[in-house]
Amino acid sequence: MKDFHFPPGILVKQQITNAIGNNMIKLKAKKEIIHINRDDETIGDFLHSTQNEISKIKIKKNENDMVIDQKQIQPASLDLTLSNTVYHLPFTFLDYRRNVSEIIEKFSDIYFDISNGNKTILHKNQTYIIPLNEELDLNHDIYARCNPKSSTGRIDVFVRTIVDKGLEFDKIPPGYKGKLYLLIIPQSFDIIITENISLNQIRFCKEKLDENIIQDRSMETISRKLGIAYENDELALGERHFNKNDGSIRLGVKLKGIGDSKIIGFKTKKNIMDIMDLTKINYYNPEDFFDPIYEEQIKEKPLVLNHGEFYLLASDLKIGIPPQYCAELNSYNEGYGEHRSHYAGFFDPGFGWALDHKGNRNLKGSYVVYEVRLNGPNVALFSDKNGNSQSKFVKLQFYKNSQIPDVLYGADVGSNYQNQGLNLAKYFKKNWEDKYK
- Asked whether 325 and 381 are in contact (CB, 8 A), the reply is no
Q: How far apart are CA 13 and CA 379, in angstroms?
A: 40
Interval 235-283: pLDDT, tens: 998 989 998 888 899 999 999 999 888 999 999 999 899 999 999 999 9
Confidence of residue 191 (pLDDT cuts 50, 70, 90): very high
Q: What is the largest CA-CA distance in the chain?
A: 67
- Asked whether 157 and 100 are in contact (CB, 8 A), the reply is no
Q: Please list the residues that pair with 134 across neighbouring strands.
A: 27
Look up residue 391 and give its DSSP letter.
S
Interval 399-432: pLDDT, tens: 999 999 988 887 666 677 777 789 999 999 987 7
- Asked whether 121 and 190 are in contact (CB, 8 A), the reply is yes
Comparison of pLDDT for 315 and 413, the residue scoring more: 315
Confidence of residue 45 (pLDDT cuts 50, 70, 90): very low
Nearest to 71 by CA among 205, 198, 194: 198
Average pLDDT over every residue of 340-349: 77
Domains, the chain, with CATH or none: 9-209 (2.70.40.10), 213-436 (2.70.40.10)
Q: How far apart are CA 380 and CA 297, in angstroms?
A: 13
What is the amino acid identity at position 138?
Answer: L
Q: Which helix (H) or strand (E) holds 20?
A: helix 13-21
- Asked whether 132 and 91 are in contact (CB, 8 A), the reply is no
Give residue 6's pLDDT. Answer: 79
Task: Give the C-alpha distances (Å, rounded to integers) separating 248 from 67, 218, 251, 329.
Answer: 38, 10, 9, 9
Strands (DSSP E) along 141-220, which ranges?
142-148, 157-163, 171-172, 177-186, 191-194, 200-206
Highest mean pLDDT among 140-144, 210-214, 373-377: 140-144
Give residue 4's pLDDT. Answer: 59
Q: How many CB atoms lie within 10 A of CB 355?
A: 14
Nearest to 257 by CA among 298, 290, 198, 221: 298
SS3 32: coil
Give residue 391's pLDDT. Answer: 87
SS3 132: strand
pTM reported for the whole predicted model: 0.87
Residue 322 has pLDDT above 50, yes or no: yes
Q: How far apart are CA 197 and CA 194, in angstroms?
A: 7
Q: How far apart are CA 360 and CA 416, in angstroms?
A: 21
Q: How far apart are CA 207 and CA 212, in angstroms?
A: 8
Look up residue 300 and give its DSSP letter.
T
Give residue 33's pLDDT. Answer: 61
Task: Give the C-alpha distances (Å, rounded to integers) separating 293 from 34, 160, 262, 267.
Answer: 45, 29, 9, 7
- Asked whether 337 and 383 are in contact (CB, 8 A), the reply is no
Q: How many CB atoms lie within 10 A of CB 202?
A: 23
Output the average pLDDT for the chain: 84
Give residue 376's pLDDT. Answer: 80
Residue 356 has pLDDT above 90, yes or no: no
